Amino acid sequence: WQTQSQREKGAELIFRGKQYIEAIRLYQLKTPGKFPETLEELVDEKCIRRLYRDPMTPHGEWNIIIPYQRGTLSGRRGRQSRPESRRRPGQAGTTEQESFQKVYIVPLKALSSVDNPAIIGVVSSSAKKTFKIYLNESSYDRWLFFYGMDPQNMPEIVNFGQEEKD
């Protein structure tokens, strides 16, 4: 019974994660060049009907994926900064998506300590091992759902509070 329950929650995690990817895509169409600073902006802009909970945790809070930039942590908020990214070859027109080489994973509660967060996606905060391998990952906190995701070229992950590698 527990195995079946975990499998169902895993399938729900994938569904909900993809809903956030689509919501951020719609947000990009409405506000080109800008990403939401809060998940609530996705509801306010009518990009998603409601905010979904992380099905893998009792508290339901996601970890947030933002583009990695040096000096991301700050106590202040100011101008919107453009995330570091690169374009994928073969994409043209207004459907181009950004492909991120490095992402920063921030707990939802710590998002206020990030200067100008540009939310590109969500990831479960559960480090529990999975029964299913998804995008070559076997723990829920490694199943990334973000705008511009290229399953063949997944980004390097930097977790909140992790020391920067030089």
Phi, psi dihedrals of residue 73, rounded to the nearest 5°: -75, 135
Placement of tokens 């199943």 in the chain = 143
Q: Tell how strand 121-123 and strand 98-99 pair up.
A: unpaired
pLDDT tens digits for 105-153?
999 999 999 988 999 999 999 999 998 899 999 999 999 999 999 999 9
Percent of the chain whose predicted confidence (pLDDT) is above 70 = 80
Residue with tokens 């942590």: 73
Distance CA 52, CA 19 (A): 9
pLDDT at 86 over 50: no
Confidence of residue 70 (pLDDT cuts 50, 70, 90): low
Instruction: Give the model confidence (pLDDT) of 43-62 as tens digits.
Output: 999 999 999 999 999 999 99
How many angstroms separate the CA atoms of 33 and 136, rounded? 30
